[in-house]
Chain A
Amino acid sequence: MDAGGARPPKASLAMLSTDTDILAAAETWRRDGHAVALATVIETWGSAPRPVGSHLVVDEAGNLLGSVSGGCVEGAVITEAIEVIEAGAPRVLEFGVADETAWRAGLSCGGRIRVFVERLD
């Protein structure tokens, strides 16, 4: 059980990873000395692409494993995650068609999601 051992190539969207792989990777990456943030889908409305509880783990260099939206808003989440790694305080992000910012990094499916991003201390 060393699912977290192999680090994916930079900015790959390893969407088929299970939550087991993702949380194990988060633990392994942290233990290996990387700064790590964990993003979790905490709420969805409409046709959200990934269910509540889905995880994405990001390190300080932008390496990632998992998915919170199937690719639609991952770029924005990674940027925020790296800020969370630096700042320390967790934040809640919201993406959806109702939001101007989110439209740019938007969910083309028309759904809305809220994502909790926290640093692994």
Chain B
Amino acid sequence: MRADILASLNAERAARRAAILVTDIADGSQRLVREAEIAGDPLGPVLGKHLASAKSGLVEADGRTLFLTVQVPPVRLVVIGAVHISQAMAPMAAALDLALTVIDPRTAFATPERFPGVELVAEWPEAVLGSRVPPLDRYCALAALTHDPKIDDPALKAALTAECFYVGALGSRKTHAARVARLGAAGFSPEQIGRIRAPIGLAIGAVSPAEIALAVLAEVVAALRRAPRPEAA
């Protein structure tokens, strides 16, 4: 491998951007395809498929055997609201390898006793996103669960601006209609606002906090695995 290709691969990883290293097994020749370049690449469809599954592997192309080293940033899940649903979600997120951060400025809810072993930040989202909590990016999922626009809205705005691959918000259709109006007034386009999953979670008839947590996480996994990511397409 050329040292400059390795340096580029490491730089993409450090910047939390996906990339695929294409290696010809026969002669060792290599090239790096950055996420933004996949669509225009001759191997675009197969690279896109490997990117979506985040799996490295061998492929055949034009009579050559190529190994694809797929490098995808670890997925983060940021939950706004230290509520019952978040408590139920914490062990499920860990089982799914989602790095969870729970943010809630209400110190009555955001206590370590309620969230053992969880990255818990008892601050306003807008005060900590990009500082104490790493900035949101396209490999983040954000679920806003407080029902309180003062807490949820700034986080939702940050998630839409950062183009998080999943943005979900708890609340009834009526609550969401009011939210859509507020975000529109704040300058977000209908396309951006349309990316918010509301009502949140797959429609499995969830009732209990754990069931709602399951529905939300299933929706997160579907968003991650099913469709190509917006900018990768």
Which of B3, B56, B58, B67 contacts A27, CB < 8 Å? B3
Q: A30-B3, A52-B57, A120-B1 are in contact. Are A40 and B10 (CB under 8 A)?
A: no
Would A27 and B7 count as touching, CB distance under 8 A? yes
B132 within 8 A of A: no
What are 10 residue pairs bridging A and B, where the CB atoms are less than 8 Å apart in the complex?
A38-B1, A38-B6, A42-B67, A43-B57, A43-B58, A90-B27, A118-B23, A120-B3, A120-B6, A121-B3
Residues in chain A within 8 A of chain B (CB atoms): 1, 19-20, 23-24, 26-27, 30-31, 38, 40, 42-43, 52-53, 89-90, 92, 116, 118-121
Would A118 and B57 count as touching, CB distance under 8 A? no
Complex interface bits, B4-38 against A, C-beta within 8 A gives 1, otherwise 0: 00110110011000000001010110000000000
Q: How far is the CA of A90 from the CA of B56 in the complex (A)?
A: 19
Which of B7, B14, B27, B67 contacts A40, CB < 8 Å? B67
- Chain A residues contacting B70 (CB-CB under 8 Å) are 53
B55 within 8 A of A: yes
Which of B1, B10, B28, B57 contacts A24, CB < 8 Å? B10
Would A1 and B14 count as touching, CB distance under 8 A? yes
Q: How far is the CA of A92 from the CA of B27 in the complex (A)?
A: 10
Q: Which residue of B lies closest to A120 (CB)?
A: B1
- Chain A residues contacting B28 (CB-CB under 8 Å) are 89-90, 118
Complex interface bits, B44-77 against A, C-beta within 8 A gives 1, otherwise 0: 0000000000011110000000010111000000
Within the complex, the shortest CB–CB distance from B23 to chain A, in Å, comes to 7
In the A-B complex, the 9 residue pairs with the smallest Cβ-Cβ separation, listed nearest first, are A53-B56, A90-B28, A42-B67, A52-B56, A118-B28, A27-B6, A120-B1, A118-B1, A27-B10
Starting from the known contacts A31-B3, A120-B1, 16 additional A-B residue pairs (CB-CB under 8 Å) come to A1-B14, A23-B6, A27-B6, A27-B7, A30-B3, A38-B6, A40-B67, A52-B56, A53-B56, A53-B69, A53-B70, A90-B27, A116-B23, A118-B1, A118-B28, A119-B1
